[in-house]
Structure 1
Amino acid sequence: MADLRGILLAIDLATRQRDEYAKTVARAQRTVLHAQSQMDALTGYAGETDQRWLGAGASQLSVELMRHHYQFMDRLQAAIALQTQAIANAQRQVELVTKTLLQAEHRLAGLKQVLASRQLTALKQQQLREQRLTDEMASIMHARRQAASLIGESP
């Protein structure tokens, strides 16, 4: 068991690291959801604003007021474009940290396989030692019986 301490420590550290990566993935996914929620709010607001202007009767509004409306809508569309980029960046971040998480999981699985292999090897060695002891005891018992039969004693 002493020789397994190193691999057990490595597994513990790899597990902690994997768990941290999982938390990072969850945070990145929440960031995407938040960015998408902001996008939904922006597009909803843009749609509502357009509907209000259509309902107000654009023909009755002054040219200056129409110009301000179009400037506002241009800025709103620019904000929507920026939010689209923010969502794409957040999704790329999710992909990146997910790959890192998968690598950590593969490393952990590999360490667990090494542990299982070492445990199996240790078990086989223990069984060999026990078999040798059993064989040695049987050999000693056989030698005693042989010696006793030569001397004429019964065991």
Structure 2
Amino acid sequence: MSALPTLLEHAESERDQIQLALQRAEENARRAQAQADQLDGYRGEYRQRWSAQFRQLGAAEILHCYRSFGDRIDEALTQQQQQIETARGHVERLRQRLVAAETRVASVRKLMERRALEQLRLQERRDQRQTDETAQQIHWRAAQADAARH
């Protein structure tokens, strides 16, 4: 029974560490998504701004610059989406680990409760046995005293 509190403390510590890691991972995933949203918004603004420019100037050099920079924005968005997917996968794995850690903590607590209840029942049986023996001795002495009087 003495090892169970140590085991519980270890399981709770592990769960708490996983919980902190999950919070950090969720924040990283949120930041990655915000960055992707920002890039996507910038890409939309860029396209809108340059489409207005094309109506005014139709130079091939400008079109080439537009496409080149647009391609780089698209590449950055693709990379950002990959980072988002990686971050989401990490979050999901940490959630699964957290569930497993919480299950371990609950299991150790339940085991400790069962052991404590078992000890309580054992002590109650000892107390009842002691009470029964005391009552039996009192009855026996009373019977001996009654027999001695007669």
Where on the TM-score scale, by shorter chain, does this alignment land: which range?
A: over 0.9
- Would you say 1:26 and 2:49 are equivalent positions? no
TM-score by length of 2: 0.95
| Mapping 1:6-155, distance limit 5 Å | 6-152=3-149
Report the residue type matching 1:25 in the other structure. Answer: L
Q: Which amino acid aligns with 1:66?
A: L
Structure 2: unaligned runs, 5 residues or longer = none
Q: Name the % identity.
A: 31
- How many residues align? The count is 150
Calculate the TM-score normalised by the size of structure 1.
Answer: 0.92
Residues 88-147 of structure 1, C-alpha deviations (whole Å, 9 max, x = no match): 000000111111111111111111111111111101101001001101110111111011
1:43, 1:58 → 2: CA distance?
A: 23
Q: CA deviation at 1:38?
A: 0.4
Gaps of at least 5 residues in structure 1 are: none
Post-superposition CA distance 1:39-66 (Å, at most 9, x none): 0110000000111112234451421122
> Mean Cα displacement is larger for which, 83-92 or 49-58?
49-58
Aligned equivalents of 1:18, 1:152: Cα separation in 2: 73
What RMSD, in angstroms, separates the aligned Cα atoms of the two structures?
1.3
